[in-house]
Amino acid sequence: MNRESHPIQTSPNTPTNIPWGSALDFDASLDQQEPWSGLLSSAGPRDHIVQLYQDQAFLNRAVCRFAAGAIANGEGVILVPTVAHWEAFRPRLEAEGVDVKDAQNRGQLTVVDADELLPRFMRDAMPDAPVFLGLAADVITKARDGERYPKVRWWGEMVNILWEQGNVAASMGLEDQFHHLAHHHEIAIFCSFVMDNFNSEVHSRMLPRLGTNHSHLIPVEDYARLERAVGEALKDTVGTNDARVLEEQLLAHYSPGLQMPRSQALLLALRESLPHVAESVLKRSRKLYTDSKM
């Protein structure tokens, strides 16, 4: 099939204009199929991880890996889900060997209703930072149970509730407060958003913003499939030779500021440097990623 081609004039001085940091932060070791599982299982203090998902099963797997890893490591874990999501998480945790009732009884697992907690710190459709930080500190202190569980992790979806309500400013403001929380209280924080990683607006607006207050991005479930899809999409768009040169030049100068798969970094570098090419590559990547699902 003949596809539209975008010839590229490349040079060592191709501009990137990337505002996210001073070092190359994508990690080649992340380009396996599900490296996010190990990342979530071993999340440490000050990690602030964000997951993009559209599939409920992917959310269940990721959150339960994060929680089960904490419990296996003798850490406290705080989950702030909606009631519906907690009902989905609980059997998954049990299937991973977690005795949920026992973990709750001994104080190692704390579950807080997201829909109940969120209104307690919202003022005029925005999070009240002092009120939120005070409430969160109380939850963390209780989860630590003195020094019984000095290491604590937190997963929650209040930011996603705001996002799905269309209140992007409040969602990102709350993410800023969670980032502060991770550093001030030395805890790992994980959040999940219903976002399409192959959506142009997500790439142009939301991912740059999320890059200012997170340490790791989990953009899709299958990193190996993403790598193949993006690689083939770039070749289909600019040609094999230009694709190889362009990838090398962009990634040599790109600084995303948070860790992500190499293929994701390439998509974002294209967006900053060659947006007209990025649109075609992103659209083609979506089709290849979707069509290659096993």
Residue 16 pLDDT class (50, 70, 90 cuts): very low
Report pLDDT for 257: 82
Indicate if 63 and 185 belong to the same structural domain.
Answer: yes
Residue 32 pLDDT class (50, 70, 90 cuts): low
Mean predicted confidence (pLDDT) in 148-152: 97
Whether residue 199 is contained in a domain is answered as no
Indicate if 96 and 150 belong to the same structural domain.
Answer: yes
The residue that leads in pLDDT, 118 or 12, is 118
Range of the domain at 136: 55-194
Q: Is the pLDDT of residue 38 over 80?
A: yes
Indicate if 190 and 270 belong to the same structural domain.
Answer: no
Residue % of the chain over a pLDDT of 70: 88
Residues with Cβ < 8 Å from 22, sequence gap 6 or more?
255
Indicate if 161 and 230 belong to the same structural domain.
Answer: no
CB 29 within 8 A of CB 55: no
Indicate if 243 and 188 belong to the same structural domain.
Answer: no
Indicate if 178 and 271 belong to the same structural domain.
Answer: no
Neighbours of 104 (CB within 10 A): 12
Whether residue 203 is contained in a domain is answered as no
Beta bridge partners of 239: none
Whether residue 150 is contained in a domain is answered as yes
Residue 294 pLDDT class (50, 70, 90 cuts): low
Indicate if 150 and 256 belong to the same structural domain.
Answer: no
Which of 151, 177, 194 represents a domain boundary (last residue)?
194
Name the token pair of 189: 């924080």
Whether residue 41 is contained in a domain is answered as no
CB 155 within 8 A of CB 112: no
Indicate if 75 and 152 belong to the same structural domain.
Answer: yes
Q: Is the pLDDT of residue 22 over 50?
A: no
The residue that leads in pLDDT, 242 or 10, is 242
Q: Is the pLDDT of residue 30 over 60?
A: no
Q: How many domains does the chain have?
A: 2
CB 213 within 8 A of CB 173: no
Report pLDDT for 292: 87
By three-state DSSP, how is residue 178 classified? helix
Indicate if 181 and 240 belong to the same structural domain.
Answer: no
Indicate if 182 and 76 belong to the same structural domain.
Answer: yes
Indicate if 189 and 253 belong to the same structural domain.
Answer: no
Q: Is the dihedral of CA 207, 211, 217, 222 positive or negative?
A: positive
- CA-CA distance, 237 to 287, in Å (whole number)? 13
- CA-CA distance, 61 to 65, in Å (whole number)? 6
Whether residue 43 is contained in a domain is answered as no
Q: Is the pLDDT of residue 53 over 50?
A: yes
Beta bridge partners of 76: 152
Residues with Cβ < 8 Å from 41, sequence gap 6 or more?
65, 66, 68, 69, 72
Whether residue 74 is contained in a domain is answered as yes
Distances (CA, A) of 165 to 120, 160, 229, 242: 17, 8, 31, 42
Whether residue 159 is contained in a domain is answered as yes
Ramachandran angles phi, psi of 37, nearest 5°:
-65, -45
Residue 7 pLDDT class (50, 70, 90 cuts): very low
Q: Compute the mean pLDDT over every residue in the chain, rounded to the nearest whole number.
A: 90
Whether residue 7 is contained in a domain is answered as no
User: pTM, whole model, 2 decimals?
Assistant: 0.88
Sheet (strand 76-80) strand order:
109-111, 76-80, 152-156, 188-194, 48-53, 216-218
Indicate if 188 and 261 belong to the same structural domain.
Answer: no
CB 107 within 8 A of CB 150: no
Which of 177, 194, 211 represents a domain boundary (last residue)?
194
Residues with Cβ < 8 Å from 201, sequence gap 6 or more?
none
Report pLDDT for 28: 46
